Amino acid sequence: MLTEVKNQWKVTRLSIQYALVRELLNKATFLSNIFFMILNDSCMIVQWIVLFSIKNNMGGYTFKQVLLLWGMAAGTYGVSRFFFKKSFNLSETINSGKLDAYIVQPKNILLSTITSDIEIAALGDILFALIVYFIYGFNMRTFLLYLFFCITGGVMITAIAIILNSLSFWFNNADMIADVGIRLIESFATYPDGIFKGITKWLLFTIIPIGITNYIPIKVLIEFNPYLLIINICVCLLLMILAYTIFSKGLKKYSSSNLMSARI
Amino acid sequence: MRKYLFIIKTQIMSNLQYVFNIVFSFIGYFILLFILFNLWQYLYSDPNELINGYNMTQMSWYVIITEILWMTLGGRKLCHKISQDVRSGNITYNINKPYSYIGYCLSTHLGDVFVKGLIYIFLGMLTGLLFLGSFPKLTLINILVVLITAILATTISILLIISIGLISFFIEDSGPFYWIYSKIILVLGTIFPIEYFPTIIQKILNFSPVYVVSYGPAKLFVDFSWDKAVSIILAQIIYIIIAYGICYLIYKKGVKKINVNGG
């Protein structure tokens, strides 16, 4: 069992490593992608400077805390898109029959599929998340927590992407549902929960779990709360199991399109 | 000119096959509007209170219009397509055709935007009426002028994005340049009107693309005045000439660098 996990880990690591080497072939594009993504993320700070000039408190968040929320959103997005890029276009892989190339490998199909490509620009998001954290104020304990939440958030977003995209095993237009679902999460991620009321707020902590991926981590970072930390971990595990189960169930319905393809 | 109109017509016919997809994509627009409505409701303690000259209803309508302009544009797709045409060498198939590549891209994309624009305008207005309960006081001629400025704004946006896509002649991936362009338009013109910024920045923004592609049509929709309409349309015409000139120059310089390997 342990050897199997070790082998799978090695394959995943190598897959990401090769994808990175491939991208590094064009260094100018590689660096410009990262640099411009940091610049792109930074542009939105202007929005909050303007909003804080109108009101000095945004739903219970100070300017620095909103910055931290932005950093968390960028960090979770970065982790999910850099390490698990393929989970966001899993629908296309399923619909076009490209899953065949992964099925024949003696390794975990889901993990092999979602880690087979990386998004370089997402490295810019991860770096932006780190820069924002250092602006917020460094403290070893919160720094480790921040990194941890970026990872759990990224994994949760990936799991949701897998769940929604796996619907393609049953429905034709599931990619549209997945796109809307992911957009829903990304749109809410950068706005403080305090500006939402009633049912919207409830939805943000349940069906659209952005409350778990982003808002709870910020609350824990501001004031440590072990219960909220446990909720974050439990939901993360639950989503991972759910994603794996739905993908595995869907895989049984998958039929090959006899598409000849090679992974280079 | 007739051939470009024919391309637009062909694209419109093709897009009419995907009306359901367009309606479904409206959900993304709706989510964004919903978030911004919540934000403005939070900021305005009294809906009639004026912040930088706008009350809450005006701000909400402003965002409805700018988001329609932005989300129907599909700028990322256009930039990516041009970038791919250049990188893959597909552009060579267009070079020997009896039309200009820039004109072809412009008319193709205008055709794409047309159907999506009509659906988004209808659904956007409906959303605004449902959430806000009132419609800005506009005559039929006022609405026509706003529509003209919206069409001109879309034309300028497309030309500017084509010029960004053509940067691929010199730098392989023009995507990052598009990210920055889109963020500038979003932050400085889509979420807030120009009046929200300090006076010095306002002066700069009045000469920037933000004024013609985003602020102009939305400002006329929420607070129409003929003086403003004339100045916006004039600025838009000047910008169309400038944007086309930029596209032409980049294309002319870049096309000399094409190296086709055959195949």
- pLDDT score, position A225: 92
What the block records as the tokens of A217 is 């981590």
The DSSP secondary-structure symbol of B208 reads S
Query: Could you read off the pLDDT of B22-78 as tens digits, one per residue?
Result: 888 888 888 888 898 989 888 888 878 888 889 999 999 999 999 999 989 888 899
Alpha-carbon gap, residue A264 to A248, rounded angstroms: 25
- Give the contacts of A224 (CB within 8 A, at least 6 positions apart): A145
Domain ranges of chain B: 2-255
A50–B176 C-beta distance less than 8 A: no
Query: Considering only CA atoms, which of A146, A201, A210 is closest in space to residue A182?
Result: A210
Query: Could you read off the pLDDT of B221-260 as tens digits, one per residue?
Result: 999 999 999 999 999 999 999 999 999 999 999 888 776 6
- pLDDT score, position A25: 84
- pLDDT score, position B174: 86
Chain B: give the shortest CA distance to residue A125, in Å: 13
- pLDDT score, position B221: 95
pLDDT of residue B84 exceeding 70, the answer is yes
State the distance between the two ends of chain A, measured CA to CA, in whole angstroms.
29
**Strand-pair partners of B54:** B51
Query: Could you read off the pLDDT of B160-210 as tens digits, one per residue?
Result: 999 999 998 888 788 889 988 998 998 888 888 999 999 999 999 999 999
Query: Could you read off the pLDDT of B88-123 as tens digits, one per residue?
Result: 888 888 777 888 889 999 999 999 899 899 999 999
- pLDDT score, position A214: 93
- pLDDT score, position A260: 64
Chain B: residue whose CA lies nearest to A45: B187
Under an 8 Å CB criterion, which residues of A touch B? 26, 28-29, 32-33, 35-37, 39-40, 43-44, 46-47, 50-51, 54-55, 58-59, 121, 173, 176, 179-180, 183-184, 187-188, 191, 194-197, 200
Alpha-carbon gap, residue A72 to A151, rounded angstroms: 10
- pLDDT score, position A258: 67
pLDDT of residue B263 exceeding 60, the answer is no
ipTM, two decimals: 0.83
Alpha-carbon gap, residue A34 to B208, rounded angstroms: 26
- pLDDT score, position A110: 92
- pLDDT score, position B250: 93
Number of neighbours of residue B140 by Cβ within 10 angstroms: 7
Which amino acid type is present at position A133?
A: Y
Positions in chain A short of pLDDT 70: 1, 257-264
Identify all chain B residues contacting A26, using CB atoms and an 8 Å cutoff: 172
